[in-house]
Structure 1
Amino acid sequence: MRIIQPPQPGEYPPYAIMYMKLLPTDGLILKHLQDNFDMVKELIYSLPENMLYHRYAPGKWSIKETLVHIIDDERIFAYRALSFARNEKNNLIGFDQDSYATYSDADNRALDNIFEEYKAVRRSTIALFNGLPDDAFDRMGHGTGTANDATVRALAYHIAGHELHHVNIIKDKYLERK
């Protein structure tokens, strides 16, 4: 897999530093995306089924809803990466993650079905970034307002860091500490 150097500050919105800090700086982000998928799948399948519906506080997502949120976010940010790589000049709209979670009906989906989608999206994301021309990674695109501008490279790292962020929440808030 290709090497994609980590983004520098200014290539991503300020809030995304929380994702960037979770990732190695070796440039092997596509390998990390694959390894992270395998790690998430192993972690989730090790849990008892009733844990998949647990909410650590009122109004918080279940683990199944969190998984579908990770998939939705990846699909949306991969689309942004494609748009920015192709030099889209229009600002791309954001999305209401809570509404997406509510209408995902994730708790009524089989875990195998969720991971089938997760795997397909992940393979597509890796293929997208693996196939982009080298000069595409430096292109800056625009979200809603300049506070959401990012380079294509930063979006690859956002996807991986966002996933790890939620894995950390699952480990810290849903699972018992030992």
Structure 2
Amino acid sequence: MPHIPKPERGEYAPYAIMYIDLLPDDGQVLQHLRKNLDATLTLIRSFPVEKLATPCAPGEWTIQEILIHIADTERIFAYRALRIARGDTTPLTGFEQDDYVPASRANEREIESILAEYTAVRLATCTLFESFGEEVFNRAGIASENRVSVRALAYITAGHELHHVQSIRENYGE
């Protein structure tokens, strides 16, 4: 797998630093995407099923909603990466995560269905990023009115998952 250095400021929206900083500066973001999938699945399977569709506090997302949010967001980040990698210079619009979560109906689903979807999305994301030549990772485009590089999208995707996994650990324990 290619060595992909962390993106530099200016390659991503200011908010994304919180995700990028969660990853080591070892250039192995694609391996982290694969490794983190296993860690996340193990964590989720450690909880009793009844806890997965119960929010930690009123108005908060449930674990099932968080998982679907991560998968939805990952799909969008991967789509952006694909468009930019293929040389598409069309500015890409943002999305409202708070509208996506209730529309997902995550709490009405079985956890194994959610985990299967989560796994499929992650494997597709990994396969996409692994298909790119090293030169592609420095390509940049506009998404949500901010400049973003393909490598930044890889790091943001991995860090976004880590951010939510940390939140699950803090709010639900292990």
Normalised-by-shorter TM-score class: over 0.9
1:120 aligned counterpart, secondary structure = helix
1:142 aligned counterpart, secondary structure = strand
Checking the alignment, whether the CA contact within 8 Å between 1:55 and 1:174 is kept in structure 2 is no
CA shift, 1:133, in A, is: 2.1
Checking the alignment, whether the CA contact within 8 Å between 2:6 and 2:151 is kept in structure 1 is yes
Partner of 1:97: 97
**Aligned to 1:158, which of 156, 159, 168?**
156
What aligned pairs does 1:63-74 form with structure 2 within 5 A after superposition? 63-74=63-74
Partner of 1:174: 172
Q: TM-score, normalised by structure 2?
A: 0.96
* Per-residue CA distance 1:110-155 (angstroms, 9 max, x = gap): 111111111111111111111112221111110132xx22100000
CA shift, 1:24, in A, is: 0.9
**Identity within the alignment, %:** 50
Checking the alignment, whether the CA contact within 8 Å between 2:2 and 2:134 is kept in structure 1 is no
Counterpart CA distance in 2 for 1:156 and 1:21 is 13
Q: Which aligned segments of 4 or more residues in structure 1 are displaced greater than 3 angstroms?
A: none
One-letter amino acid of the counterpart of residue 122, structure 2: R
Partner of 2:46: 46
Of 105-114 and 69-78, deviating more is: 105-114
Q: TM-score, normalised by structure 1?
A: 0.94
Q: Which runs of 5+ in 1 are unaligned?
A: none
Partner of 1:37: 37
Q: Which runs of 5+ in 2 are unaligned?
A: none
One-letter amino acid of the counterpart of residue 113, structure 1: S
What aligned pairs does 1:1-178 form with structure 2 within 5 A after superposition? 1-145=1-145, 148-175=146-173
Counterpart CA distance in 2 for 1:173 and 1:111 is 19
| Count of paired positions | 174
One-letter amino acid of the counterpart of residue 152, structure 1: V
